Amino acid sequence: MTTRTETRTPFKPNWLARLGWLGVLAYCVYAGSSLDFTWARFIEGLANGAKFLGEMVPPNFDRWRLLVSNLIETVEIAVIASAFGIAASLPIGLCGARNLMPEWMTWPARTLIAICRSFHPVIFAILFVKAVGFGPLAGILTLIFLSIGFIGKLFCEAIEEISLKPVEAMKAAGAPFMSVLVFGVLPQVFNRFIGFATYQFDANLRNSTMVGIVGAGGIGGTLFAAFQRFDYDFLAAILIAIIALIMVSEYISLKIKAIFND
């Protein structure tokens, strides 16, 4: 005898959902044809890619002095931007926490955070290059904005998830507001804030190699110039150096988090 439980299926038939999937598939086919995405072009691209990779080998490290000086500038941009961006995001994120601050304070803070998260790093870099000119200052301002947007938002959400019991207990005991923040709020979010900060430093290091493409300092400018000159062996050396830099950053981030988590 077949019971109702035995005939039950994990996915209930839903014709509306199936029609939706068919619609998505049909739109992908249409979009692919309208964008001139063909199989022949893909095969041709693979051949061009193999030729491009062949010209990158072996990497050319003859201009290592230029490479090292650009990497140092990239690290400087990332470190300065991370320091100022993280320092600014702490009070801004605190002001945006709805469970601690009045509404007239949270809306401006959250609006600022939303503006800082609105654009891609390259768009911010173009705006700052237009405002302050070519060079590392434009890159630093770009990464500060990005840091406020990312850490500010995550810090707001982390504070809104804390337990309010210790906060209410300290308020009932007559503790001043700063004491409530320092001893009631920050201990609950400090480890997460360290995690956000180390991740943002890692992201700033990667983004600082990209904003240089539009003239905001760092190794991105040299990378773009190597592309334009078809200097692919030097380009390979730059890419290897960037990968090594990111791996070192990852190692340092792990060490920093281990120190604060002990």
pLDDT tens per residue across span 51-87? 888 888 888 888 888 888 888 988 899 899 999 999 9
What pLDDT, in 10s, does the model give residues 92-120? 988 988 888 888 989 999 999 999 988 88
Average pLDDT, the chain: 85
DSSP annotation of 183 reads I
Highest mean pLDDT: which of 24-38, 42-56, 102-116, 217-231? 102-116
Least-confidence region, from 28-42, 134-148, 194-208: 28-42
C-alpha 143/C-alpha 82 separation (Å) is 7
Look up residue 188 and give its two tokens: 């609950």
What pLDDT, in 10s, does the model give residues 168-220? 888 888 888 888 888 888 888 888 888 888 888 888 888 888 888 888 888 88
Closest CA to 220 of 232, 212, 228, 208: 212
Q: How many CB atoms are located within 10 Å of the residue 54 CB? A: 9
Look up residue 16 and give its two tokens: 């509306």
pLDDT of 26 above 90: yes
C-alpha 109/C-alpha 78 separation (Å) is 24
pLDDT-derived band at 1, boundaries 50, 70, 90: very low
C-alpha 22/C-alpha 15 separation (Å) is 10
Does this model's pTM top 0.75? My answer is yes
Closest CA to 209 of 219, 201, 224, 199: 219
Question: Which pLDDT does position 23 carry in this prediction?
Answer: 93
